[in-house]
Amino acid sequence: MASKRTLLLVIAVAVASMVASGAPPVQPPRIQADVIVMGFVPCNNGTSMRTGSAPGFAGAVVQLQCAADDGGAGLAANATTDGKGRFRMALNTTVAPSSVASRCDLVVGTPLASCNAALPAAGTLHSNLRLIASMVFFPQGFSYAAAASSTD
């Protein structure tokens, strides 16, 4: 019985000291963003490339390009891939996640030749987005689009 009283007294003193100090309780870190887009960019010019089929495209600039309601450019962000081809971007928006998935695409304009000299020096990689969790998007799979040839 005495040990229960001692335990209750210790707990009461601990709670009282926390309240008296005015210090807020420790909170886990929050992501300060409404939308997170993350994924992997392969160094390859195949169609709908899979993550394990090619090495990562280090140093590629990944752009999130979205269409606005009026047909112009809307929400946009960019990130640079790390040494393994992974990227992550966080942004705030008032747009619903379903709108981000349907109106936004990922575009990599960095020349493929910069990750492998045997690949084309012109063209882009494109991917639609897929919603993985409440605010986290991944690429559906990057596809290569050759640069349009100009004729004079």
37-61 pLDDT, tens digit per residue, is 999 999 887 654 555 668 889 999 9
pLDDT greater than 70 at residue 73: no
96-118 pLDDT, tens digit per residue, is 777 888 888 999 999 989 998 98
Element (H, E) at 16: helix 2-21
The predicted structure's pLDDT at residue 86: 94
The predicted structure's pLDDT at residue 108: 93
Residues 21, 35: Cα–Cα separation, whole Å: 36
- Average pLDDT score over the chain: 78
β-pair partners for 66: 104
pTM over 0.85: no
The predicted structure's pLDDT at residue 2: 60
